[in-house]
Amino acid sequence: MIPGPEEVYGALDSRFPFDSAYDWDNSGWQVVATRPVQRCLVALDPTVAAVGKAVEWEAQLLLTHHPLFMPHISSVHPESTTGAITRVLLTTEIGLLASHSCADRNINGVSGALADAIGLENHRVLAPDEQGTYFKLVTFVPDDHLETVRTALAAAGAGVIGNYEECSFALAGTGTYRPQVGAIPIQGKIGHLEEAKEYRLEMRVPAALVGKVLKALHRYHPYDKVAFDLFRTFVQGDDLGIGVIGSLPQPKEVSALIAQIKEVLGGVPLQVTGPEEGMVEMVAVAGGSAADLVPVAKARDAQLFVGGDLKYHKLLEFSDSLVCVDPGHRASEQPGVERLADVLRHAAARNNWDLEVETFLEDPALGRIV
């Protein structure tokens, strides 16, 4: 089965909800795909080179982290780079989809990929976002439909807790009902009290995905009238926020850890400030522009911080107590490209899609070192 563009969109939406993007951001469709997606190229930026590769590979979709149309762009000149890229995408019928702040704000997104690449454990969000509101969905499912419903809810985005998917709780019990005229019961007779072996199924749902999850519930639940409850939990920042903090499996010397980071990021030049010696165990990371997170990393007791676009005065302020490693904006987000690709590969395997997913990684150091 070759997935349609909306199915690919849905797979990403279930992992990094597009509704969770910042208000100022332009995540989502940049150029809407209209053809079934058999080949998807994943890149950090919708550059001329990335679009050229998508055309050469005959892809139907280009998935990027950064949008083509950033919020400050109010018009497009046909002779500009953005205009030329748009023209190529339209004439070749290649869709363009961007994840951006949806993946930036998620613990499993860009920063989570960077943390995994370095080998951090016990991930937590570095700067939790107070907008991380969740609901607990409770429904009652006949025992022979439990797996079907649970799988459908998980595919819609329910049951994600940190680095775990398909988290649920099911408790067996007995349900009763008396069908009335007009009911379409899957068992029993009109007017007779019936008993059914059911499971109470509970799963957590991000606020941004409640509508999508309920749609899946009604589609895959066997009853003509589905009983369910939604309990708003509380504002929690365990999944949404910027950056990730975690620990190394074993403490490492500063120099050894810096060498490891350099290797993981493709040998890109690193700007390093802070103590040159000592052991590091607690590490904070943030993909992209991360200057404002330097004091946050220090306040969370990180001993080393990795982030892009770090600013002189922030580094100067903490140069005596916090090792700061700046590989540049692009290099710090490159692991996120593979994370996006893996999300689609996982969805393809789960849904038996005929979908090829490849990554396009440009030189991690934007520009030239001269």
Give the separation between CA 8 and CA 119, rounded to whole angstroms. 29
| Structure-derived torsion over alpha carbons of residues 251, 255, 257, 261, reported in degrees to the nearest 10 | 170
| Other C-beta atoms lying within 10 Å of the C-beta of residue 23 | 6
| pLDDT number for residue 128 | 85
- Residue 13 one-letter amino acid: D
Residues 6, 10, 14, CA angle at the centre, nearest 5°?
Answer: 175
Residue 330's φ and ψ, nearest 5 degrees, are -65, -50
CATH code 3.40.1390.30 region(s) in the chain:
5-100+332-360, 110-127+241-327
Show the 3-state SS of 269-331: CCEEECCCCCEEEEEEEEEEECHHHHHHHHHCCCCEEEEECCCHHHHHHCCCCCEEEECCHHH
Copy the structure tokens of residue 166.
């398909």
Where is 335: in which H helix or E strand? helix 329-351
Q: What is the pLDDT along the chain (370 residues), one digit of tens a residue?
A: 999 999 999 999 989 999 888 888 999 999 999 999 999 999 999 999 999 999 999 999 999 999 999 877 777 888 889 999 999 999 999 999 999 999 999 999 999 999 999 999 998 999 987 656 789 999 999 999 999 999 999 999 999 887 788 999 999 999 898 888 888 887 888 888 988 899 999 999 988 789 999 999 999 999 988 999 999 876 554 568 999 999 999 999 999 999 999 999 999 999 999 999 999 999 999 999 999 999 999 999 999 999 999 999 989 999 999 999 999 999 999 999 999 999 999 999 999 999 999 999 988 777 666 6
Taken in order 79, 80, 85, 89, the sign of the CA dihedral is negative
Beta-bridge partners for 323? 304
| pLDDT number for residue 120 | 97
| pLDDT number for residue 309 | 94
Give the separation between CA 292 and CA 249, rounded to whole angstroms. 27
CATH class label, 5-100+332-360: alpha beta
Copy the structure tokens of residue 105.
């704000």
Phi-psi region of 143 (alpha: psi -120 to 50; beta: other; left: phi over 0): alpha
Q: Which fold would CATH assign to domain 133-235?
A: Alpha-Beta Plaits (3.30.70)
CB 353 within 8 A of CB 1: yes
pTM: 0.76
Q: Which fold would CATH assign to domain 110-127+241-327?
A: 3.40.1390
